[in-house]
Structures are given as structure tokens and as C-alpha cells.
């Protein structure tokens, strides 16, 4: 339509004797409309694409015309897709920055960072920062990419995936820089599966920084090609260590209790030895994941006592199935004089922590269940005293494992120093004297003892050293725990741990002395100017002699370890005690021993988070995420892990509670039921 056409139609329609100038159509949006005169003489504008009718005339204005031109789907589609007509203004399109400034005050610029935030007040709105913040929102809140198909969000569609990759690259550079200052790093590996039967390997680094804050950072999340044997997994570990340049800093590898992981550990260690990349001090520890061991033992116990658990589940389900039955149950509880401290709850398949909570609440109301038929005629579920006895035995065991899993699977503090305490508690329970008429529980205990003792025997030394490095325990708790486990013959085991600790400590001490000597030697060489060349050989002799004297004086003086063990332990009644903070405050008092503590206190006892420690099923990717390409999956999973850690350190604890990692339920793409593989 010509922009000069009048919306008044023919001049003949003007009142006789009146001469009025004809208004021209200046808005570019009119080109998408056809103006027609209706039978009653009124004017209507019809969209050329959707035929929608809009009012028009000298007093109607053009705002509604422009609004329809921007929002008409058929118009946008016919004009080149989601970008819309070329004349429609598109804010931030093909511009590097969009700035909004308050007129009266000076703006505050925003500096982009991997985990930056936009503060309130007067500021400059940077498009690049906004896009990165938007990508963080998608990663942290696990939003699906399909949300950008919504009409109001469609224009961001093409940028989101690229911005997520940009965030990943930024975070990777920051993490590489942080790892440079770490002397020792502990690794943890775990396997994930997808609905496409693909195996993914997750490699995580655990370390303590200079401020004595513990970190858990995901390094690699990649597909494991078949066969999923130890050699293949060891190749992935070696490649990741080389990419992150940390192959000379590894102190331990924590993994599941599997023969394949044993082969992986042996291959990694052999590769590091061949390349002379093993650290000059300490050991390369092979740590069994405590959560995996607990799950194995608990799963076996639940299988053996499956009927007992099933019968209690049926009783709880009966009460919870109707409001009237709950009222009858509550009436029975009141008449029997039991305080209603707990609520009955059903367990969830694959989550043994919910099974423990179900048993705990049911056993509390045991007396009510035994006589519930007197109040409810429909209740016919019978039970025996032996059945309840077995349920109570299982509940006590699950409680110990429940507490241990919560302590040893946390990511907010050190866990290796707490293992010996939890191991001692489980050991005492499994080796107690029991009185059951049937042999089922006796046989079950023997199998569980064998499984647990096998794990304990391989991890004794590491957890003992970490326990001694906790100022609340030191050697005193080690003696107490070993006496509980080994009986009166515990002294040789304590002596072995003591000899190992001193040997490792002196390795750290010699390395510190050598570093100081090299530092002073370098400074003295820099200060030498104009010296007589004839004195060079004599100077070299004196330098070596000075190094010898300094090492001898260090050995003769009372060591950090002697002073540390000689002082009294920190009282256990300090509920807010933080072992890392204690070492931060005393690192100058024990300069050598503190370096050793940074290594051993960073070793994780588990490869999973606390919310996944109770799952008897494996970890996996949902069907939406499984259809992404491997590089996109790695970028999203690793970025989410890094962002979660940064936000948690910044005080956003609620965000951590709202972002469960396992099982992942991120729907990043809108895909059909049977989409093509990406």
C-alpha cells in the first residue's frame, strides 16, 4: 500500500463547504494492512497476513496497528522467521552495548566475570553481562532451552547455547588459574549412564586453597567408549590430567569398589611412574568410596530382610491410604498414651534413607500396630514378636549408616578425618553379640562383616593419618578406636601409623628445607657482582656446607609434629569447631605440618553428594539431556557444578537446596518422543 494514501477515502465524503487537508500515512506499519470502507461508512484496517480487522480513522491512532505488526505470527513467519520484519525495531540486535543511565547520577559500570552479579542502584547495563547472567540462569535452574520458544522470549533462542559454552570456557580458565597454586590435589571418579546406554565418566578435583577453603570442582564429564575397562578409564584420567596440567600434583584417587577401578588405579599409577610425574613426597592413595560401600552393605541387608520390611510397609500403607484410617490410628495413639512425636511415612523405591525413616516411625508406634485391630475392624495384618525384633535390629543398623552417609558425603568440609569415627561405630554394631532364634540374621551379619572388613583393611592407614591431623583426636582417639576394633592387640597397629606419619612428615620437612635453601641460593647468586672467579669453587663448598648445617639444625630441633602431638586435644564440646579454620589460624605455628594437613584433609571419603549417598541405583542422565552432543553435555554439567560452588561460597545456600544434582532432570531441548541422536 502506498504510504501517501489517505485514510479518509475520497474527498467527496467530506462535508460540503469544508476544505480539510488529507492526512498522509506515515507509519511504515501501514504497508501490512489494507484499508476498506464498510457499508455503514466506517473504515477498517485488515491485516494482509492474518486478515484480522482493526479500527482506523483520523482519531484511532496507530499504536494498535504497530503492536499487531510486531506480534502477528503469520507476518513474522512470512517476513523471514523469528527475526520479524526488517523495519521492526529489535533492541540489542547487532549492537555491542546497550546503556541505560540515570540523568542525575553517575552510572556504575559492571565488570563481566564467571560468577559475577549485578548490584542495585545506578549502573550501566552491559549486553554481554546480561547475556551471561541469562546463561547462568539456564544452567543453575536447569531450565529447558524450549522456554525460548515462547513468544516473549523467542529472540534469545540462538544466543543461549553459545553463551552457555562461553560461560564454560570462562570457568575453565578461572579454574586452571586456581589449580596452579595447589600443591596437592585429590581426584574422585564416578560413572553415569544415559537412556541411550552410553557410559559417562565424571572426574572431580578436591583441594584446599591458600585460605583453607575446601573446593570440589568437576574437571571432566565425557563419554566412555567401549569397552568400559580399567585401561580405557585410565586413558581418560591421564588425558584430563594433562589438559589441566595437574599430573604432578595428584595425592589420591577415590572411586567405587569395583575391580575395573582397581585396574584403572594401577594403570594411572604406572603411567605417572613412567613419566616421573608422581609427587616426590607422600603416596598415591587408592580410596574406596564410603557411600558405595555403605550402599552395598545396606542393599544386602534389605534383600535378606525383604519380607520384614515389606510387612511393615503394608501396615504403614494401610494407615496412610485413607483419612478415616489415619483418624482411627491417631485415636488409638492417644488412648494408649503415646506422644505423637513422629509421623508415619512410606519409603521411596531406591532410597534406603526413606526406608530407615519408615521403619523408625513404625517401630515407635509398634504397640499401636499390635492392637490396632481393636479400633479398626478392617485391619487384619498380623505380626510376630520376632518380626518386630528383626525390624528393630535393621532400623538400628540403618540409623548408623544414615548418620555416617550424612557425615562422609558432605562437600562443605573435610571428610577423611571423620571416617575412623564412623567406621568404628559400624564395626562395633556388626561385631556385637546378637540373640535371634533364626539363623537368618546371624548369616547376614557374617556376610556384612566380611564386606566391611575388606573395605576397612584397605583404608586404615589413610583415615588414621587424617584422624591424627584433627586437633580434636590426634593419637588419643586413634588408640581408643583401634582398641575397639583390634582388641588388646591394638598397640602394633598404632605404632605402624605413628611410624608412617613421622616418615611422611620428614619428607615434607626435607622438601621445605630444600625449597628454602634453593631460595636463599638464588638470592645470593643475584647479589654476587664483581666477585673473584678464583673463589667460585670455595663458595660452592660453603653453600653446600650451609645447607647441611641448616638441615641438621632442623632435625635436632623439636619438630612441628612433636609439638602438635604434645599439646592437649581440642575439647569435643565445641559444636561449631571447624578443622580447616583451626589449621588456617595455626598454619604459622606448624608451617610444615600444615602443608601435610592440606593434603590429607582434602581427600574425599565419597564420590557422591549427600543427597545421592542413599540411592541404591546408579547416577544417570535424563532422556532430554542424553540427546545433547557430548561436548554440550560436558559444558552444561561442569558449568553448573562450578556455578553452584561459587554461589554457595557467596552465601546463596537456598540456591543449593533448590538445585539437586542427582538425579539430573534438566530438559534442555524440546524433542519428540523418538528424536534423532545428536
Mean pLDDT of 83-107: 38
CA atoms within 13 Å, Cβ hemisphere of 185 = 26
Spell out the residues 6+ positions from residue 421 whose beta carbon is closer than 8 angstroms to its own: 467, 477, 481
**List of residues 6+ apart from 34 with CB closer than 8 A:** 1, 45, 46, 48
Q: What is the pLDDT of residues 585-630, one digit of tens each?
A: 999 999 999 999 999 999 998 887 544 444 444 455 555 555 677 8
Asked if 382 and 583 count as a contact pair (C-beta separation under 8 A), the reply is no
pLDDT band of 293, cuts 50, 70, 90: confident
In CATH, the number for domain 168-288+618-657 is 3.30.420
Residue with more model confidence, 82 or 247:
247
| Cα–Cα distance measured from residue 281 to residue 357, given in angstroms and rounded to the nearest whole number | 45
* The pLDDT value given to residue 469: 95
| Range of lowest pLDDT (184-188, 280-284, 537-541) | 537-541
Q: Which of 184, 194, 216, 213 is nearest to 203 (CA)?
A: 216
> What whole-number distance in Å separates Cα of residue 634 and Cα of residue 223?
9
pLDDT category at 137 given cuts 50, 70, 90 is confident
Q: What angle do CA 433, 434, 439 make, to 5 degrees?
A: 125
Instruction: Of 231, 280, 198, 294, give the one whose Cα is nearest residue 621.
Output: 198
Confidence of residue 10 (pLDDT cuts 50, 70, 90): very low
pLDDT of residue 544: 64
Predicted confidence (pLDDT) at residue 347 exceeds the cutoff of 60: yes
pLDDT of residue 560: 87
Q: What percent of the chain has pLDDT over 70?
A: 69
Task: Evaluate if residue 52 carries a pLDDT over 90.
Answer: no
Q: What is the crossing angle of helices 579-586 and 591-600, to 10°?
A: 160
Q: How confident is the model at residue 76 (pLDDT cuts 50, 70, 90)?
A: low
Nine-digit cell string for 410: 558432605
Of 664 and 8, more confident = 8
CA–CA separation, 670 and 319 (whole Å): 41
**Between vectors from CA 669 to CA 664 and to CA 672, what angle results, nearest 5°?**
110
User: pLDDT band at residue 465, thresholds of 50, 70 and 90?
Assistant: very high
Residues above pLDDT 90, as percent of the chain: 26
pLDDT given for residue 549 in this prediction: 59
More confident residue, 314 or 50: 314
Lowest mean pLDDT across 162-171, 226-235, 319-328, 560-569: 162-171
pLDDT value at 442 more than 90: no
Cβ distance 30 to 1 under 8 Å?
yes
Residue 348: predicted pLDDT: 87
CA 69, distance to chain mean position in Å, is 46
pLDDT of residue 413: 84
Do 140 and 655 touch, CB atoms closer than 8 A?
yes
Whole-number average pLDDT of the chain: 75
> What pLDDT is attached to residue 601?
94
Total Cβ atoms within 10 A of residue 149: 12
By mean pLDDT, which of 249-263, 361-375, 400-414, 518-532 is the weakest? 518-532
| Torsion, CA 87, CA 90, CA 96, CA 102, rounded to 10 | 120
Comparing 224-238, 347-361, 617-631, the range with the smallest average pLDDT is 617-631
The pLDDT value recorded for residue 323 is 92
pLDDT(272) > 90: no
The stretch 468-492 carries a mean pLDDT of 91
For residue 190, the surrounding DSSP H or E stretch is strand 185-193
- Domain limits, the chain: 28-73, 168-288+618-657, 289-396, 412-515+579-608
Say if strands 43-47 and 53-55 run parallel, antiparallel, or are unpaired. Answer: antiparallel
**Cα 22 from Cα 218, distance rounded (Å):** 70
**What pLDDT does 662 receive?**
29
Q: Which of 10-24, 356-370, 451-465, 606-620 has the lowest mean pLDDT?
A: 10-24
Place of cell 581440642: 570
C-alpha cell of residue 460: 586404615
pLDDT band per the 50, 70, 90 thresholds, residue 25: confident
Amino acid at each position: 500500500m502506498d504510504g501517501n494514501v489517505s485514510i479518509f477515502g475520497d474527498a467527496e465524503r467530506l462535508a460540503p463547504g469544508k476544505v480539510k487537508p488529507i492526512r498522509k500515512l506515515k507509519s511504515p506499519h501501514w504497508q501490512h494492512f489494507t484499508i476498506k470502507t464498510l457499508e455503514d461508512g466506517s473504515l477498517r484496517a485488515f491485516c494482509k497476513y492474518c486478515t484480522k480487522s482493526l479500527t482506523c480513522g483520523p482519531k484511532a491512532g496507530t499504536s494498535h496497528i504497530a503492536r499487531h505488526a510486531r506480534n502477528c505470527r503469520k507476518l513474522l513467519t512470512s517476513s523471514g522467521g523469528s527475526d520479524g520484519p526488517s523495519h521492526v525495531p529489535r533492541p540489542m540486535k547487532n549492537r555491542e552495548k546497550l546503556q541505560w543511565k540515570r540523568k542525575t547520577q553517575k552510572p556504575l559500570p559492571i565488570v563481566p566475570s564467571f560468577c559475577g552479579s549485578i548490584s542495585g542502584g545506578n549502573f550501566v547495563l552491559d549486553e554481554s553481562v546480561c547475556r551471561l547472567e541469562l546463561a547462568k540462569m539456564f544452567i543453575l535452574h536447569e531450565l529447558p532451552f524450549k522456554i525460548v520458544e515462547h513468544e516473549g522470549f523467542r529472540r534469545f533462542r540462538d544466543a543461549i547455547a553459545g553463551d552457555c559454552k562461553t560461560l564454560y570456557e570462562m570457568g575453565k580458565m578461572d579454574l586452571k588459574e586456581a589449580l596452579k597454586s595447589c600443591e596437592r590435589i585429590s581426584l574422585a571418579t564416578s560413572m553415569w549412564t544415559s537412556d541411550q546406554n552410553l557410559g559417562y565418566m565424571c572426574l572431580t578435583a578436591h583441594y584446599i586453597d591458600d585460605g583453607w577453603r575446601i573446593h570440589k570442582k568437576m574437571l571432566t564429564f565425557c563419554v566412555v567408549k567401549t569397552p568400559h575397562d580399567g585401561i580405557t578409564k585410565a586413558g581418560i584420567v591421564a588425558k584430563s590430567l594433562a589438559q589441566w596440567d595437574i599430573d604432578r600434583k595428584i595425592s589420591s584417587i577415590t572411586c567405587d569398589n569395583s575391580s575395573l577401578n582397581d585396574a584403572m588405579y594401577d594403570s594411572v599409577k604406572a603411567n605417572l611412574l613412567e613419566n616421573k610425574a608422581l609427587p616426590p613426597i607422600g603416596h598415591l592413595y587408592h580410596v574406596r568410596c564410603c557411600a558405595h560401600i555403605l550402599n552395598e552393605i545396606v542393599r544386602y541387608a534389605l534383600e535378606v530382610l525383604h519380607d520384614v520390611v515389606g510387612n511393615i510397609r503394608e501396615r504403614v500403607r494401610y494407615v496412610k491410604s485413607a483419612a478415616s484410617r489415619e483418624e482411627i490410628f491417631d485415636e488409638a495413639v492417644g488412648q494408649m498414651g503415646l506422644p505423637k512425636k513422629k509421623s508415619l511415612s512410606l519409603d521411596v523405591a531406591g532410597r534406603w534413607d526413606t526406608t530407615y525413616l519408615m521403619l523408625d516411625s513404625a517401630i515407635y508406634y509398634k504397640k499401636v500396630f499390635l492392637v490396632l485391630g481393636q479400633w479398626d475392624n478392617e485391619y487384619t495384618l498380623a505380626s510376630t514378636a520376632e518380626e518386630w525384633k528383626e525390624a528393630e535390629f535393621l532400623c538400628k543398623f540403618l540409623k548408623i549408616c544414615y548418620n555416617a552417609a550424612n557425615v562422609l558425603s558432605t562437600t562443605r568440609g573435610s571428610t577423611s578425618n571423620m571416617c575412623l569415627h564412623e567406621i568404628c561405630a559400624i564395626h562395633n554394631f556388626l561385631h556385637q553379640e546378637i540373640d535371634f532364634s533364626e539363623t537368618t540374621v546371624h548369616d547376614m551379619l557374617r556376610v556384612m562383616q566380611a564386606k566391611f572388613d575388606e573395605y576397612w583393611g584397605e583404608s586404615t592407614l589413610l583415615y588414621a593419618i587424617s584422624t591424627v591431623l584433627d586437633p580434636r583426636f590426634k593419637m588419643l582417639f586413634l588408640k581408643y578406636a583401634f582398641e575397639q576394633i583390634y582388641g588388646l592387640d591394638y598397640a602394633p597397629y598404632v605404632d605402624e601409623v605413628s611410624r608412617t606419619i613421622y616418615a611422611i612428615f620428614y619428607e615434607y620437612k626435607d622438601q621445605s628445607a630444600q625449597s628454602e635453601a634453593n631460595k636463599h641460593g638464588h638470592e645470593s647468586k643475584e647479589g654476587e657482582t664483581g666477585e673473584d672467579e678464583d673463589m667460585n669453587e670455595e663458595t660452592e663448598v660453603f653453600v653446600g656446607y650451609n645447607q647441611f648445617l641448616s638441615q641438621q639444625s632442623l632435625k635436632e630441633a623439636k619438630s612441628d609434629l612433636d609439638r602438635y602431638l604434645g599439646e592437649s586435644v581440642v575439647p569435643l564440646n565445641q559444636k561449631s569447631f571447624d578443622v580447616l579454620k583451626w589449621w588456617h589460624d595455626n598454619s604459622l605455628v606448624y608451617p610444615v605440618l600444615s602443608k601435610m594437613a592440606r593434603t590429607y584433609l582434602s581427600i574425599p571419603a565419597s564420590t557422591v553428594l549427600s543427597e545421592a549417598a542413599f540411592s541404591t541405583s546408579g547416577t544417570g542422565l535424563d532422556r532430554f539431556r542424553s540427546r545433547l552432543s557430548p561436548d554440550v553435555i560436558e559444558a552444561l554439567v561442569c558449568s553448573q557444578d562450578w556455578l553452584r560452588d561459587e554461589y554457595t561460597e557467596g552465601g546463596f545456600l537456598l540456591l543449593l537446596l533448590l538445585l539437586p544434582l542427582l538425579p539430573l532432570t534438566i530438559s534442555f531441548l524440546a524433542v519428540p518422543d523418538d528424536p534423532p541422536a545428536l
